[in-house]
Amino acid sequence: MSDDECVFCAIVRGDAESSVVHDDADVLAFMDLQPVTPGHLLVVPKKHAVGLEDLDVEDGQKLWAVGHRLAKALRRSGLQCEGINLFLADGKAAAQEVFHVHLHVFPRFAGDTFRISADWRVRERSELDETAAAIRKTHADLTNAAHQTS
């Protein structure tokens, strides 16, 4: 999908309607058209990135910083808000529907209907250790590669 076909890029350009709550040089935040709860926001980098793999670290930091400040604003806004969820779906298997990185920030309260179901069973330590080792190795490889290019 090109930037021209991306609905979030259209919103960033001002070519599509949105109810903006934050706008700076790098990040835009607006109301979700299909909110989980009243106050549900989407925070997007202005530069198109399909997923986390494509997102510059600096843009990711700005995205999360704005999301954090907006979570605080939601808590103080007078909207029903007993808690906050920050949710980012990265890839189709993770339920990403719009392929432009976006952080959901939405208020939570007792009795709301949002749920994530999963297999929450406790895992064996050996399985966790093996998984941790695979992630550590890849993380070290990525960190070393980043240092070599900078």
Residue-wise pLDDT for 15-36, tens only, equals 999 999 999 999 999 999 999 9
Q: Are 100 and 9 in contact (CB under 8 A)?
A: yes
Length of the chain measured in residues: 150
CATH number at residue 34: 3.30.428.10
Q: Is residue 70 part of a domain?
A: yes
**Catalytic residue of the set 22, 68, 102, 139:** 102
Q: Are 94 and 16 in contact (CB under 8 A)?
A: no
Q: Is residue 130 part of a domain?
A: no
Mean pLDDT across the chain, nearest whole number? 95
HEC readout, 97-125: CCCCCCEEEEEECCCCCCCCCCCCCCCCH
Q: Is residue 124 part of a domain?
A: no
Q: Is a pLDDT exceeding 80 seen at residue 1?
A: no
Q: Please name the amino acid found at residue 140.
A: A
Domain span including residue 80: 3-115
Count: domains in the chain: 1
What's the pTM value of the predicted model, to 2 decimals?
Answer: 0.90
Residue-wise pLDDT for 86-126, tens only, equals 999 999 999 999 999 999 999 999 999 999 888 889 999 99
Q: Is residue 133 part of a domain?
A: no
pLDDT at site 3:
65
Our answer to whether residue 22 is catalytic in this structure is: no
